[in-house]
Amino acid sequence: MTDFSTLGLSEKLMQGLAKANFTKPTPIQIEAIPHVMAGRDLMGLAQTGTGKTLAFGLPLLHRLLGVGHPPAPRTIRALILAPTRELVTQIATNLEVFTKGTPVKVVTITGGASIHRQTEKLARGADIMVATPGRLIDLLDRNAVTLEATGYLVLDEADQMLDMGFIHSLRKIARHLPLKRQTLLFSATMPKLIEELAHTYLREPVRVQVAPPGKPVEKIAQSVHFIPQGDKAKLLESYLLKHPGEQALVFGRTKHGSEKLMKLLVSWGFQAGSIHGNKSQNQRDRTLTEFRDGTLQVLVATDVAARGIDIPGVRHVYNYDMPNVPENYVHRIGRTARAGAAGSAVAFVAPAEMEELRAVEKVLKQPIPVIGGAAWAADIVAAAPKPGQKPRQGGRPKAQGAKAPAGAAKPQSRGQQPKAAHGGRPGRPAAAPGGGAAPRRSSSQGRQAGGAPRG
């Protein structure tokens, strides 16, 4: 079964697939679509970027195109829940390719947008609602929408929803849904909580798995560069300069640190933008549009974007800060090598992040090749404070994210040399990309430079 024509989809959908140049279904689509068409509950496991949206979207649209009459006021026929605003927008955009010229109506419901306008849209009902859990609960509490006639529930990126603490929201939403429904759960990883979630909300589900959970796309060239936290900004600059004209996605740990890093890159002459939780929905949408059309070369983001960006032009992912949740590493690097293209992912690892690196490699079940520096010695790792940790007494290293002391170096323009972060030559990273091992550093040398952005 290697052709969409063999999956039993309607002629309207087949025309849409041809117009969008979709010729052959992906493995997850081949495995999932027949079961969804047959009305079975399904748990789909596949790595990011493999076509999961159409795996549930096409059979869902096939059903809804055959209804023949509009939904009742304030009612929803199919509910798709996703963890982030970006992913909600991405799913709706993919579905709307096939709903143009049809009576099927798709609405998006997210925080950061006018709840009054959303209430007005829902007053006429909708065939498909794509929503984040929090805003949907707000609308349910206002009686702006009812889920009593919702016959389809899709949980997309369910593992990230649990990571973001949406389990209580899911339980609350489930109480509004009819027991007689079809439920589809899609995820890239399979922690124990997902098993429990599936057992609670799915009825005798078919399990479809096309790749080991958490396995990154094979075309991504992964590597690690060991570097002190304070030298990461200059190292990032050197990597970006090596690939002019190629788009890069940079992941930071915090909203403040990501914004600070973006502004530093702009001051150095890069076309850069940022998306994180402190940005309004309009700001995030505008920045993503500029990144998608190539106006921006670099996008700095927190994990809010790890599963909401589907831009084929992204060639490089830089983990400026290692993720706190190891599975998020898979989703971060999955933003490159989209649609069969190749890509690279480099992780910048400071002494305080060795534990996070080990956790990632445990998920991957293999070590990540080292491209620069050398693994930090145990005594340096032990002395390094964790992110957000208060400074220790007795002159030990400061916690990452702590306020810089008076007189510390501030970010310079690209034409100036910043003060040395560790007593070496001014403005020179500990090791150039692809270079040799960085020297062992004492705990005092491993401090962050006062002016370097911290993720």
Is residue 450 within 8 Å of residue 409, measured between CB atoms?
A: yes
pLDDT value of position 2? 66
The pTM for the full model equals 0.65
Average pLDDT, the chain: 82
Q: What would the two tokens of residue 440 be? A: 């062992």
% of the chain residues with pLDDT over 90: 56
CA-wise closest residue to 216 among 191, 247, 188: 188
pLDDT value of position 305? 61
Q: Tell me the pLDDT tens digit for each residue of 36-82.
A: 999 999 999 877 667 889 999 999 999 999 898 999 999 999 999 99
Helix (H, G, I), strand (E, B) or coil at 423: coil
Q: Which of the pair, 408 or 310, is modelled with greater confidence? A: 310
Q: Could you give all domains of the chain from N- to C-terminal order, each with its CATH number?
A: 4-209 (3.40.50.300), 220-383 (3.40.50.300)
Name the amino acid, one letter, at 129.
M
Is residue 431 within 8 Å of residue 225, measured between CB atoms?
A: yes
Cα separations (Å) of 308 from 85, 246, 342, 450?
8, 20, 19, 33
Is 393 a residue whose pLDDT tops 70?
A: no
Is 446 a residue whose pLDDT tops 80?
A: no
Contacts of 284-288 with C-beta under 8 Å, sequence gap 24+, read 284/85, 284/86, 284/112, 285/89, 288/86, 288/89
pLDDT value of position 152? 97
pLDDT value of position 307? 61
Q: How sure is the predictor about 122, in pLDDT bands with cuts at 50, 70 and 90?
A: very high
Is 433 a residue whose pLDDT tops 90?
A: no
Is residue 152 within 8 Å of residue 178, measured between CB atoms?
A: no
- Lowest-pLDDT range of 5-19, 333-347, 382-396: 382-396
Q: Tell me the pLDDT tens digit for each residue of 144-159.
A: 999 999 999 999 988 8
Is 174 a residue whose pLDDT tops 90?
A: yes
Name the amino acid, one letter, at 447.
R
Q: Tell me the pLDDT tens digit for each residue of 224-245.
A: 999 999 999 999 999 999 999 9
Q: What are phi and psi of 36, to 5 degrees?
A: -65, -40
Q: How far apart are CA 416 and CA 413, in angstroms?
A: 5
